[in-house]
Amino acid sequence: MKLLQKNISSKDAFGSVKLLPETADDLWHTYNLLQPETDLVLCSTLRKVINTSATGSTTSKKIRTKLKICVSKVDFDPKSLQVRISGKNTVESKYIRMGAHHTLTLELGRDFIIEKECWDQIYLDRIEEACNPERQADICGLVMQPGLAHLCLVTGSITITKAKIEMAIPKKRRDSSNHSKALVKFFDTIYYAILQQVDLNKVKCVICASPGYLKDDFYSFIVEQSVKRQDKSFILNKRKFVVCKTSSGHKYALQEAFGNPCIFSRINETKFAKEIKVLNLFMRMIDKEPDRAYYGYNDVFKANSELAVHILLVTDGLFLNSDLLKRKKYVSLVESVRENGGEVYILSVMHVSGKQLQQVSGVAAILRYPLPDLYQIETDTLA
């Protein structure tokens, strides 16, 4: 993301930013920056204009113009890589009257301006993260089982499914080559999907994961075929391929793959890898040291009131709440934990890690010391 202009005097003040999205991550950050009912967005758009002549005949044409709308609804489409914003026009123009409803589409390579009444710390952190080029560390994940494969691209904030491959694979039978032929066709389809959908020169590593020996057979297939077909992108980047075992070929199996030590050693410097590591630590502590691992806003709030929170985990979906009071309580919790010397990890709900945290309320904490009597602690300001 390019920050073209920033007019924010201080935290929690009115201001605006002008941004230019360049990657899929940038559009996810944009989606998280927008708050319905309060934010204004200025962007160029196409508007259909109908002209009526003196004789009563009508002609229509599309005019590119700039609109500033008050956001009423925001949607993110990871497949088309677009953020769609609906709302009412707030500035009178030659083509569009004040108060007319319109939908803006924010996409890669097109700048826009966001105005907010209050830029809190979470919004400012989001801009800082989005405009930091070091965060980019794309990882290609391929999870498969016989007849099913998911090819995904994992960035700092989003997991994009680039291809889903389904194919019937007959069982092995004596005196029949149908199984082998179907498997070769299955591998060949995956091979071309990687070639077309993934830039192997840019990704940090390519994870090949499956139950059994399917992953090893596929790796041998691509090494052999890349030489036969002289596909330089495979030949030059074959060291980026790492095989590991998972329980299935479904998308959620990516979480298992990222927990593998061989994989983690390749991606341990990325933001996503650090989030996976700390989430796995929290899950282990629930079993081994339950008095140091709590989840749910009330329990985490109580622990923080005792200055006990060492690591706070929270999903970014909680900050998209249309109820501003609920949003503010999570923003206050994050700021309080940081002021008390704790670490904060905001996990994206577009990653398997964020979805896993959502299953336990979306907010969790690892404590500095055990608090077995946490439920007896009384606080005056619980939401």
Considering the domain architecture, whether residues 23 and 115 belong to the same structural domain is answered as: yes
Residues in the chain: 383
- The range of the structural domain enclosing residue 346 comes to 278-376
Rounded CA-CA distance 90/13 in Å is 21
- Tell me, what CATH number does 322's domain have? 3.30.1330.30
Region of poorest pLDDT, from 47-51, 72-76, 238-242, 311-315: 47-51
The answer to whether residues 258 and 286 belong to one domain is: no
Are the C-beta atoms of 70 and 40 separated by less than 8 Å? yes
* Residues 170 and 243 placed together within one structural domain of the fold: yes
For residue 33, tell me if it sits in a domain: yes
Q: Do 348 and 285 share a structural domain?
A: yes
Burial label for 285, CB within 10 Å (0-12, 13-18, 19+), is: middle
Q: For 95-121, what is the mean pLDDT?
A: 90
Asked if 154 and 138 touch (Cβ cutoff 8 Å), the reply is yes
Rg (C-alpha) for the chain, rounded Å, is 25
41 lies in the same domain as 61: yes
Rounded-to-integer distance, Cα 237 and Cα 255, Å: 24
Compute how many other C-beta atoms are within 10 angstroms of the C-beta atom of residue 259.
16
Is this structure's pTM higher than 0.85? no
Residue 272 lies in a domain: no
In a domain, 7, yes or no: yes
Pinpoint the alpha helices (H) of 166-314.
Answer: 178-197, 214-229, 232-236, 254-258, 261-267, 271-288, 297-305
In terms of DSSP H, where are the helices of the chain? Answer: 24-33, 121-130, 178-197, 214-229, 232-236, 254-258, 261-267, 271-288, 297-305, 324-339, 352-358
Check whether residue 217 and residue 337 sit in a common domain: no
Q: What is the mean pLDDT of residues 116-123?
A: 92
Question: pLDDT for 205-259, tens place per residue?
Answer: 899 999 999 999 999 999 999 999 999 989 999 889 999 999 999 988 888 888 7
Give the number of other CB atoms < 10 A from CB of residue 123. Answer: 23
Measured between alpha carbons, how far is 279 from 271 in angstroms, rounded to an integer?
12
Q: Are residues 9 and 128 in the same domain?
A: yes
pLDDT in tens, 70-94: 999 999 987 788 899 999 999 887 7
Is the distance from CB of 345 to CB of 135 less than 8 angstroms? no
pLDDT of residue 353: 86
Whether residue 145 sits in one domain with residue 127: no
Residue 158 lies in a domain: yes
Q: How many CA atoms lie within 13 A of 120 on its CB side?
A: 17
